[in-house]
Amino acid sequence: MNSTHQHDRRSAHVPARNAGMRLDKFLVEHFSNYSRRQLMRVLKTGTVLVNGRPGRAGLELKSGDQLELPVLSEAVAHVKEERAHAREALQPVESVVELYRDDDLLIVAKPAGLAVHGGAGQMHDRTLIDVLKKDILAGFGLAHRLDKDTSGVVALVKGEELRAKTMAAFASDDGGIEKEYVAVVRGVPEPAAGEIALPLLPPAFRGMAKVDKARGKPSLTRYRVVEAFPEAARLTVEPLTGRTHQIRVHLAAIGHPLLVDPIYGVRNRRKVADARGIADANLKRTPLHAARLALPHPRTGVRVEVRAPLPNDIKYVLELLRIAQGRARKPAGSDDAPAAP
């Protein structure tokens, strides 16, 4: 292999002496100033071509095969940068973000992993109430709740009378409350849009709610497939009633539980592979995000609507699913950008 820049050369022909050698071993032999791991990561990006096609690590080379390579110093640096972005995207967001505030109403975005208040199993964990201690002392109180591992919009109201009024609106099926969630589920629901009307009993044994057509309360969930992948889908979900765990139970009941759900699914974590070989996602929580909330203002009755940005962990999982399907750009009409550039 003759070149003035041997270690960064763009193209080469396979010599006869290397016929039958695996592509990965060939690269390690001829570019010894890079580690095998670095070269394998570049290989997985699909930028090493053999006779015009992306080469696989185990491909056996033939004499005269045409290799086209990126400038390896640049390619290795690019992969390193991508991995740094991916690691950042995989870090859990721990901060509570304020979305709306006035004298009577406070709306925040809660990160996954933060319980809204203390309870069973939360005795020594920090909660949303702890984070908002100053506001709680000033008279704000929770108007509803989210599960610990669900991220997104939470509303608090100041004063017991107004808070009771808002809590009643949340509890009522016609209280003027609109909620919209993003859910990543196993498989792709058919039809692509529909309603799930299954009566539910509240959690009892082992904290599980369940479908019970004889004794359950009427429960209605509307869903729509926003993105479909070979083994998963991104949904927009609207609970039209407010039962505990309603979305999780209803999705599981139609055979499409959340991608991770230790109670109503079959997994307590899920690895989503990165086809580029940069950084896999290890999803450790239920991929459910309260993305939008609309409600009548507790004092004036004027409609207030807020949205909570999709958190990085779900964004990155979706990005890897898009990459695996051959489309890594933001889909038309979606409200999130890829987490890893």
Token pair for residue 264? 């109503």
Burial of 333 (0-12, 13-18, 19+ CB in 10 A): exposed
Amino acid letter, residue 181: Y
Q: How far apart are CA 71 and CA 175, in angstroms?
A: 61
Question: Considering 24, 147, 313, 336, which one is annotated as catalytic?
Answer: 147
Token pair for residue 241? 């009633």
226: nearest Cα among 241, 215, 237: 237
290: nearest Cα among 317, 257, 314: 314
Radius of gyration of the chain (CA): 25
Within 10 angstroms of residue 213's Cβ, the number of other Cβ atoms is: 8
Q: Which distant-in-sequence residues (6+ apart) come within 8 Å of 31 by Cβ?
A: 7, 39, 72
Q: At what angle do helices 312-324 and 72-90 cross, to 10 degrees?
A: 140
DSSP 172: S
Q: How far apart are CA 258 and CA 116, in angstroms?
A: 21
Residue 147 designated active-site: yes
Q: How far apart are CA 43 and CA 27, in angstroms?
A: 10
Catalytic positions: 147
